[in-house]
Amino acid sequence: MSHRQNPWTQALATACLLFSLTAGAQTTSGASKETTEREIQSLFKALQQSGCDFARNGQWYSASEASAHLERKYSYLQKKALAPTAEDFIARAASQSSMTSKPYLVRCPGQPELRSQQWFEAQLAKTRTAQ
């Protein structure tokens, strides 16, 4: 003897399952976006307060000029959904010129010059440790 469920019961169970999966995904996604935004904004703040100079395509810029440039790049990435994580922001916007592919450099007082990717990764690690 086979046991069959009412089709309405099956449909309701399926709908509830789909709703719970979708709701959970949206909650996780929203938290991730919020965390990413907070981390990237902390990178901009660290940059602006750093007193470091940043080289782009062979020319040196102040931290505030570099921040303004990277904020424009970040805005573009947001519109295209290309920076879902702070690591993506660093890789796609803060590491090299999108025009020439030359790496960005950072020169901070009393420290050796380094690639901006290293600098931003270190700042991100500090941000995450402080949270």
Q: Which tens digits make up the pLDDT trace of 2-45?
A: 556 555 545 444 444 444 443 333 333 444 899 999 999 999 99
pLDDT reported for residue 118: 98
CA distance 71 to 40: 10
pLDDT single digits (tens) 98-117: 999 999 999 999 999 999 99
What's the predicted TM-score (pTM) here? 0.75
DSSP-assigned beta bridge partners for residue 62: 53
- Sheet containing strand 59-62, strands side by side: 59-62, 53-56, 105-107, 114-115
Sign of CA dihedral 118, 77, 62, 97: positive
Contacts of 118 (CB under 8 A, 6+ apart): 106
pLDDT reported for residue 7: 54
Could you tell me the pLDDT band of residue 53, with boundaries at 50, 70 and 90? very high
H or E element that contains 11 = helix 7-48
